[in-house]
Structure 1
């Protein structure tokens, strides 16, 4: 086989169902090998064995692969050319690293003899990506190609998942090789560390220490992060809560890890979390952190986070996360699902049953007294009402993707998430333009599921070229653009902390007719909603349409995201706005940190 054929055969052996990428000179041998593989391996239904989806640009390809991975739990695959093709993948790779998403990115590279000579479309990808990815391989020895590509998949999906980049010079792609069909690189240090983590178990003494602390608590709380979803531990979490009755609040990345409609669910916590979740964190005396990293959106001021907690326990697959931000009294490094199952079994066997009736009543009262709310009498369309209308019809079962900004936070707050992998968003990186291509990737993972991109007028502009990808591939994707004619989240901060100086956020780009743009890209159903009295019927028609549909909603430009925990503030100082009850009346103060959003 040629090196290119070896790459494609390894992808097939790894069970890759779809790939995303954009062609170019340095990757042409691989693209040709994909074409020939599909011609030689037709599916029974006439489709391609490994379709290669071509988007408008490489960043779109990266986010499609990430959306596919986030929705399916499988490794996403992107294949791009050298130079600008590879550098356009930097943002999706870093985004996936920050949110622990498994990707394998195959990049073409100039010939090995030309590396370092500033050849046409050359970029030092191993250097550039090395700071952004879980690992980067530059394959200069063709004999190592097969083992390297196979190892990339192992690295991407094992331990704490992440993106792995394989940079393959064109001459390596053309080299004649013997295909072995097995074997990986040694990576002895990584495998030793991984084996130690994956084989770690909780001893009886570990379990006894944990339950001793838990049984002394009166207000225990579970703080669940994206690790619950990455570890496929949602069912184990559900069983643990059923056994011991701890309420659950989730991070932005953890939404769906626990059914948000459950009475013990507190939904989202943090900077724009629900008021009742944040107040519960203020009140709790025991925190069990599961696959969560106490990041600055949750614990912006670490010593003020869960100030009454006498005991913090943490379980994570990544040793570097233990005690990184908050000191913990008990921890376990290992697979989350197995740890929760072991704790639950040990606790049940020893008859532990915390008596939490008062705490449950307190949590229920917090949810009643500090419920999410907004101006329901406004003559302007409120974004919250749009999302509530969609949620009533989808009932927490749709796959929701978002861009980044106010619409992202509104979607996190007002949608129900009843199962994992139904919420796709750029959490740590906060990458505008993520929503549309990620939704496309998710729709390729689940052709028959309802996938909705909730986007903003500024965010969707970043990758608006992918509207054509939706119709080109006949995807039944639903796209909602909440249009407030500007960068709403930036403006909200400028109102609160910069005396209303809308520097660069009061959009000068406002000439685009999004509906006509969607129609130009082939959307048969494309409408603008600008009347409150047409909201319900329009949403119903939009969701019922059999095919791709695009809805632009002209929302109240002054609608804000509340609650909001400002920079340097604790949850007790949370700003809840005019329509959500607060336990205090915090005042906004001048921002003192450049790390704003």
Structure 2
């Protein structure tokens, strides 16, 4: 969306809901905080500085006015202010808060380097459709464009990274702009919104209206069209005609099903028609990962049986997914036997962007699936896909996840299996980016959505620890574990101190393989073992000493396999912040693996996951039953095609 400053206002509130402070005189900074409170913000993340000081002062005075007599510390404040080690950490904390809660996360930073340090979390939130509002201080309007101290052109910088950027040059519009920023962040396809507020606008004094939004008529019209989007009987009939013809339908579920809170409708749809489900990295948790119909993650590091199911299906139903390169690989050979492809997404730009589809609907995933269910019920649709379900269960039996269980070295898969047994799929798991991220996705269970927090689209190292902090502040009743790698953790290591400063019982599980494992794996496979810049064994970081220096009372290192189970139990049960470093096999790899630009039939399963010999594919038309029947050469159930 283009950056702009909107001039008109409209009100959607009534006299009966008039804000109690409406009509009072206050500064622009105070108006910002009152709107945040009105929007339900209970936690702010941020680092102060000259250009944002008036707003930080307004936070202090707001808490002073509303603090209860029982308040004991920072976490008891009406609007908690969490100060990270770095502004990037603030952005990722807000993102973790938003991902775990479904609410809009908010962070507050100063101008210049304070604002530019948040470019990465803003782009990260855009890539994964995460609703956050970033309020950045700016030099006074009269100094803008003069290269003033700590000035940066935030509108220009953030314009290509965020869903929208507002620059407030008219102080009369400050409260309406903040209110509109939250509306834009949470509506439609969610995303990050940046509000750049010059210091003189924060210091301006005027009348607080307590209501009103900017007039962004075109955007609201599109939203209304989206909300009212209804599947016609003709489109429903067309969908069910395809489903009726299908013998091997498969649901391909992405992060849109999580963001759109469509888990109930998705599970109802899958169970009503007995359709197996695969998910993307961002779609984990939309379907209970222990469900008999769930086949795991698909794609570059998806389970072998999920990828084989994609190879074998004849009707692919994509819900809130975007056919990205880590899933589709060689696009023309993705789901090669699918005679029909259907796609439901809230963003029209995603339809046909990567792969052509035969049926599509732009709308909310939850409502769309609900409408299809109602139509199917009204027409008495009762398909029978039992043979297909039996087939995919056979795939799971014959091609299970596996690793070297006999090695004397600690295998990361084993560590995560043990952690998963302790948490029972109920913990919130955050990760950095790399091999540990993929092992966590493969071996952790997620019974519900919003338990899996990872940087998917942008793949940002250093994401895990600050995101876990934000997630705990959003969900203090949950066990929150950050599974990290030594390279990724190092990126935002300063946030260890943030967890202990505020006494947050976030658990940090470090799988240390003394290097950038994923880069090293690619160098093994594609660069002739030339480990350029990926071997960190010569670095001198002692993570245990670092954790202890930052106040961790539980900080342990495990070097023997027999110590893992007991150490993990003590780690999970420790009542405060806990740090556990496990020295894993440095040569452990992530498998299966579909190489970049490759098709699923070229998937490498490694030494410990049984592969199958794929039969030649004949494309989307002709020979589908024969190809699918011949695809499995290992012993299997009677031919179901």
- Please confirm whether the aligned pair reaches a TM-score higher than 0.5, indicating the same fold: yes
Structure 1 equivalent of residue 8 of structure 2: none
Among residues 436, 441, 449, which one is paired with 1:407 in the alignment?
A: 436
Assess if the C-alpha contact under 8 Å between 2:333 and 2:599 holds in 1. yes
The structure with the larger Rg is 2
Residue of structure 1 in register with 2:424 after alignment: 395
- Match of 2:29? 4
- Cα distance in 2 for residues equivalent to 1:451 and 1:470: 12
Residue of structure 1 in register with 2:67 after alignment: 42
1:251 aligns to 2:280 (yes or no): yes
The 5-angstrom pairing of residues 137-176 of structure 1 reads: 137-176=166-205
- CA displacement, residues 122-152 of structure 1 (integer Å, 9 cap, x when unaligned): 0000000000000001110111111110000
SS in structure 1 opposite 2:290? Answer: coil
Equivalent position to 2:240, from 191, 211, 230: 211
Q: Residues 149-548 of structure 1: matches in 2 within 5 Å?
A: 149-507=178-536, 510-548=539-577
Find the aligned partners of 1:447 and 1:357 in 2 and give their Cα distance: 42
Q: Shift of residue 540 of structure 1? A: 1.0
TM-score (normalised: structure 1): 0.97
Counterpart Cα distance in 2 of 1:276 and 1:171? 60
| Distance apart, 1:44 and its partner CA | 6.4
Taking the aligned partners of 1:159 and 1:285, their CA distance within structure 2 comes to: 31
1:92-107 matches, within 5 Å, as: 92-107=121-136
- Work out whether residues 326 and 596 of structure 2, in 8 Å CA contact, stay in contact via their aligned partners in 1: no
Q: In structure 2, how many angstroms separate the alpha carbons of the residues matched to 1:545 and 1:493?
A: 37
Q: How big is the shift at 1:206? A: 1.0
2:111 maps to which residue? Answer: 82
Post-superposition offset of 1:43:
3.9
2:4 alignment partner in structure 1: none
C-alpha offsets along residues 53-101 of structure 1, whole Å, 9 cap, x if unaligned?
0010100000000000000000000000000000000000000000000
**2:149 corresponding residue in structure 1:** 120
- List runs of 5+ in structure 2 lacking aligned partners: 1-25, 616-641
Q: CA deviation at 1:45?
A: 4.3
Query: TM-score if structure 2 supplies the norm length?
Result: 0.91
- Correspondence for 2:100: 71
Q: Supply the distance in 1 between the matched residues of 2:366 and 2:562 (Cα, whole angstroms).
A: 47
- Which residue is equivalent to 2:45? 20
Deviation digits for residues 9-36 of structure 1 (CA, Å, limit 9, x no counterpart): 0000000010100000000000000000
2:274, 2:386 within 8 Å by CA — same for their partners in 1? no
* DSSP 3-state at the match of 1:464: coil
Structure 1 CA distance for aligned equivalents of residues 341 and 150 of structure 2: 51
**Counterpart Cα distance in 1 of 2:456 and 2:206:** 42
In 2 relative to 1, CA 195–494 (structure 1 residues): closer, same or farther, beyond 3 Å?
same
Contact 1:575 1:585 (C-alpha < 8 Å) held by counterparts: no
Using the alignment, how far apart are the partners of 2:47 and 2:539 within structure 1? 30
Aligned residues of 1:440 and 1:477 also touching (Cα < 8 A)? yes
Whether the aligned pair in 2 keeps the contact of 1:316 and 1:335 (CA below 8 Å) is yes
Deviation at 1:42, TM superposition (A): 1.4
Distance in 2 between the 1:551 and 1:510 partners?
19
Q: CA RMSD in A?
A: 1.0
2:608, 2:27 → 1: CA distance? 65
Matches within 5 A, 1:126-137: 126-137=155-166
Name the CA shift for 1:509/1:72 in 2 (closer, same or farther; >3 Å): farther
Is the Cα contact below 8 Å between 2:252 and 2:279 reproduced in 1?
yes
Residue in 1 that maps onto 2:639: none
SS in structure 2 of the partner of residue 298 of structure 1: helix
* 2:60 matches 1:31: no
8 A contact 1:573–1:584 mirrored in 2: no
Secondary structure, in 3 states, of the residue corresponding to 2:606?
coil
CA distance in 2 between counterparts of 1:95 and 1:266 reads 27
- Distance in 2, matches of 1:448 and 1:527, equals 25
> Hey, what does 2:19 align to over in structure 1?
none
Alpha-carbon distance in structure 1 between the residues aligned to 2:227 and 2:320: 15
Structure 1 range deviating more: 387-396 or 41-50: 41-50
| Structure 1 residue 508 displacement after superposition | 5.5
Separation in 2, partners of 1:253, 1:164: 21
SS at match of 2:547: helix
SS state at 1:297 partner: helix
Instruction: Indicate if the aligned counterparts of 1:243 and 1:348 stay in contact, CA closer than 8 A.
Output: no
Aligned residue pairs total 586
Runs of at least 5 residues in structure 1 that lack an aligned partner in the other structure:
587-597
1:331 is paired with a residue of what secondary structure? strand
- Deviation for aligned residue 1:420: 0.2
Question: Is the contact made by 2:277 and 2:293 (CA closer than 8 Å) also made in structure 1?
Answer: yes
In the alignment, the residues of structure 2 paired with residue 398 and residue 550 of structure 1 have an alpha-carbon distance, to the nearest angstrom, of 16
Counterpart contact for 1:276–1:366, Cα < 8 Å? yes
1:91 equivalenced with 2:91 (yes/no): no
Moved over 6 A (4+): none
| Secondary structure of the corresponding residue to residue 325 of structure 2 | coil
Q: Distance in 1 between matches of 2:69 and 2:395?
A: 55
